[in-house]
Amino acid sequence: MDKQTVNLYFIMGTLNLAGRNPLHVLEEALKGGVTCFQLREKGPGALTGKELKAFALECQQLCEQYSVPFIVNDDIDLAIEIGADGIHIGQEDGCVSAVRKKVGPEMLIGVSTHNVAEAIAAADAGADYIGLGPVYETQSKSDTQPVIGIETVSEVVTLLPGLPIVAIGGISERKASAVIKAGASGIAILSAISGSENPGEAAIRLKAAVLLSLTGIEM
């Protein structure tokens, strides 16, 4: 997996969009330059069953239109059924080797990690990329782990230099530079895009911050 694939990794479900059309938000974000999209449909009132499948297929179609990988969070059966590009699992969603047996050799597998030991374990098990965080305090999830800070990002990057590492948790446009300079391949964004009045413009600014930081140019 190319590290550029995760430069700007957008995560979204139908909840917490203040009544806006999630497909419109997703398309605006895709137009703005997100490089990977994860459908994370969880929580009270989340879509399930046929409604979830229908929504996932619509998101997948949009991602294909913009040549952006479509990742499903946690729901392995759904990912297989619709032929998603990848599946993303947490620490309690099963081991990478078992998931690999189910999804086959082609589907990307991402793993959420919260410390050095989990990151190394995911890499050793064959994860295609890892999510690492929360780097900063975040309000996007109610079940977050303790904040790990920039130092842990740097340590994991040093230990796993060939693996795409996506930093997640409270990352804003202003904080993106520090995360990328710590060595992260990209940033995972939830509310900074989905909570913006202009998701497309938010994506453009975040993408610019990431790419500028990757060049090493000081502003």
- Feature table: binding site: 38-42, 73-74, 93, 112, 138-141, 170, 190-191
CA distance 116 to 125: 14
Cα gap 106→194, rounded to integer Å: 29
Q: Which of 112, 194, 196, 213 is catalytic?
A: 112
141 is catalytic: yes
Q: Is 154 a catalytic residue?
A: no
Q: Is 9 helix (H, G, I), strand (E, B) or coil?
A: strand
Active-site pick, 20, 31, 100, 141? 141
d(CA 82, CA 17): 24
Residue whose structure tokens are 């059966």: 77
d(CA 118, CA 103): 22
Looking at residue 145, the DSSP 8-state letter turns out to be P
Which residues sit in the known binding site for Mg(2+)?
Answer: 74, 93
Q: Which of 40, 175, 205, 207 is catalytic?
A: 40
Write the CB contacts of 174 (distance below 8 Å, at least 6 apart in sequence). none
Catalytic residue ranges = 40, 112, 141
